[in-house]
Amino acid sequence: MGAAKGRWSEELPWILWAYRTIPRSSTGETPFRMVYGTEALVPVKIGLESYRTEVYNVETNSFGLRANVDLLEEEREAAHQINMKYLLQTTQHYNSSIKKRSFGVGDLVLRELAASMPTKQVKLQPNWEGHTR
């Protein structure tokens, strides 16, 4: 553990690469794809034979990347819609466990002293004021 303590600067690029290339649950897309419009090629795979490395051509690659950038706004909009759906589901899940309460005039409630009198708060003073049973 002590030997790895000073190596954070060597590990940081790999950690950032992993962060940028792992799909987010909120959008289903990677941050790299949302910025550049194409999936990242893992550095280890560059040396391996694959369809993507075998058919690589500078001219067609440049044309394809420009086309990806042109379509990027639509992909970002789709990711935004997925993110909004995710936020709605998260909100509904959170709100399902909240008990709704309503108070009327004359109801007895506790009030937090720090919110009502922030300057008069003393260390040994109670945190709440109001009716207690």
pTM for this prediction = 0.52
Do residues 67 and 117 make contact, with C-beta atoms less than 8 angstroms apart?
Answer: no
Highest mean pLDDT among 32-46, 48-62, 75-89: 75-89
Look at residue 114 and tell me whether its pLDDT is greater than 90: no
- Indicate if the alpha-carbon torsion angle 35, 74, 22, 64 is positive or negative: negative
Write down the pLDDT at residue 119: 67
Q: Residue 130: count other Cβ atoms within 10 Å of its Cβ.
A: 11
Q: Where are the alpha helices (DSSP H) in the chain?
A: 8-21, 31-36, 43-46, 51-54, 58-96, 113-116
What single DSSP character describes residue 40? Answer: P
Q: How far apart are CA 63 and CA 72, in angstroms?
A: 14
The domain ranges of the chain are: 8-100
Euclidean distance between CA atoms 40 and 46, whole angstroms: 11
